[in-house]
């Protein structure tokens, strides 16, 4: 089964600082060694990415949506974007806010 990189971007309803990143990282998929969580310093945005196995890009994008939902459960806000990327292609979903 192919491996994809997936990510989600959340616009937080409150300021995102290093403590927020640390608490989300600790709670979000604690057994996922590939998981990375970071913030955008100039925006109240939180990003998370990891690797997943999926049958195709569409299935990987569904896993990216799940990652976004998990991110939103740990930091209040709106998921702005999710994506699945392979070596050859990508599939992106963006919210209409």
- Per-residue pLDDT at 96: 85
pTM, entire model: 0.93
Under DSSP, the state recorded for 76 is -
Number of domains in the chain: 1
- Sorted by sequence, the CB contacts under 8 Å of residue 18 that are 6+ apart come out as 39
pLDDT in tens, 17-73: 999 999 999 999 999 999 999 998 778 899 999 999 999 999 999 999 999 999 999
pLDDT in tens, 75-90: 999 999 999 999 999 9
The CATH number covering residue 39 comes to: 3.30.70
> Three-class SS of residue 64?
helix
Residue numbers of the domain that contains 15:
3-94
């Amino acid at each position: 089964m192919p491996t994809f990189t997936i990510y989600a971007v959340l616009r937080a309803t409150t300021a995102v600082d290093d403590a927020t990143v640390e608490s989300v990282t600790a709670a979000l998929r604690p057994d996922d060694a590939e998981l990375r969580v970071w913030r955008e310093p100039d925006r109240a945005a939180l990003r998370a990415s990891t690797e997943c196995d999926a049958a195709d890009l569409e299935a990987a994008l569904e896993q990216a949506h799940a990652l976004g939902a998990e991110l939103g459960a740990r930091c209040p806000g709106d998921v702005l974007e999710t994506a699945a990327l392979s070596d050859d292609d990508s599939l992106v979903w963006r919210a209409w806010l």
